[in-house]
Amino acid sequence: MEINQLHVLLVCNLGASTGVMVTKMKEIAQNSEKLKNTDVKIEAHPAGELREHIEDFDVILVGPQIKHQLKHLSEIAAEYNKPIQVIDTKDYGTVNGANILKDAIILKMNK
């Protein structure tokens, strides 16, 4: 199944810790044959700014360091009918942008 748009919002505590992940994920998306015709946008913002940005994104990924906020963030995501999940701790810790990007694609396709 081909997707023509993949807009991923990563939310974390201050938006800084996911900056490295965003860079890695963008690099992987740009070099991906499967995503070459896909409009990809990946950004990181603090969890407190979720409402300000959520409408511009297809899926929301939550940094594992703030998974304790998932219930609250999920309620916001539900208001906008956006899928949300916590980023795998191991993938986050090893900056495995490929796996996280794959999770975002699966999350969007299963919406």
Query: Mind telling me the catalytic residues?
Result: 12
Nearest 5°: CA angle at 84, between 78 and 88? 160
Total length of the chain: 111
Which positions ≥6 away from 59 have C-beta within 8 Å? 6, 7, 8, 9, 82, 83, 84, 104, 107, 108, 111
